């Protein structure tokens, strides 16, 4: 879900029109959460909330009586909260009040992710830390950002690094705080481009 939000919206419209009535409610719910993220990216808070409401209704209505397609098997209640956290955290860039709701959803997602799903946890930690930075709570943000960093490894996806870079941008206004300055340096060292640059200097 990095990339241009208007492109994402076009893709969602195509997916919805091409998927027909047989599409499982859970699949439709997942598509709606991506649509909501795209709306949030453009600051369309009302549309985003409406789309997330539809996603919740669809998710709850899924009876799980039909096996989902293999690519959808992983979309569970934790993911639903994780995507809501991402949407509200994204909206918070336009409407800082949304940061509190983002934190709540990210915490719920993390509580539900008891067994594994490491990459999803990293996304939740990054959403949570980002929402805390936007809510002017650098201490909590620092804690969750470090949990994300500890969980990240060499195999982290481009999407993970993109989200980390977005979070790094939010740390700028808190660079005067000693702990946050340390965190910024740690993020700089962990980003792939920085590793290559350091390797070239040796």
Question: Hey, where are the domains in the chain?
Answer: 5-62+75-173
Q: What pLDDT does 51 receive?
A: 97
Q: What's the predicted TM-score (pTM) here?
A: 0.83
Q: Note the pLDDT of residue 200.
A: 39
List own/partner pairs for 132-138 with CB under 8 A and 24 or more apart: 132/99, 132/103, 133/167, 133/170, 133/171, 133/173, 133/174, 134/89, 134/92, 134/93, 134/96, 134/99, 134/170, 135/92, 135/96, 135/99, 135/100, 135/103, 138/174, 138/177, 138/179, 138/180
Per residue of the chain (202 residues), give pLDDT as tens.
445 666 665 665 655 555 555 578 888 999 999 999 999 999 999 999 999 999 999 999 987 766 666 655 678 899 999 999 999 999 999 999 999 999 999 999 999 987 767 888 999 999 999 999 999 999 999 999 999 998 887 557 888 889 999 999 999 999 999 899 999 999 999 887 644 444 433 3
We find that the CATH architecture of domain 5-62+75-173 is Alpha Horseshoe (1.25)
Return the pLDDT at 201: 39
Q: For residue 107, what pLDDT is reported?
A: 97
């Amino acid at each position: 879900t990095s990339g241009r939000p208007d492109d994402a919206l076009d893709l969602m419209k195509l997916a919805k029109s091409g998927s027909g009535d047989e599409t499982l409610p859970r699949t439709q719910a997942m598509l709606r959460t991506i649509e909501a993220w795209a709306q949030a990216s453009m600051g369309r808070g009302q549309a985003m909330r409406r789309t997330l409401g539809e996603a919740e209704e669809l998710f709850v209505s899924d009876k799980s009586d039909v096996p989902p397609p293999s690519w959808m098997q992983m979309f569970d209640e934790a993911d639903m909260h994780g995507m809501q956290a991402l949407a509200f955290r994204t909206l918070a860039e336009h409407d800082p009040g949304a940061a509190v709701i983002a934190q709540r959803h990210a915490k719920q997602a993390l509580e539900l992710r008891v067994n594994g799903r490491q990459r999803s946890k990293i996304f939740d930690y990054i959403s949570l830390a980002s929402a805390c930075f936007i809510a002017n709570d650098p201490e909590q943000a620092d804690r969750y950002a470090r949990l994300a960093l500890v969980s990240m490894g060499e195999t982290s996806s481009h999407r993970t690094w993109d989200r980390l870079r977005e979070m790094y941008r939010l740390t700028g206004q808190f660079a005067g705080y000693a702990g946050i300055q340390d965190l910024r340096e740690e993020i700089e060292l962990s980003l792939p481009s920085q590793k290559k640059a350091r390797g070239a200097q040796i």
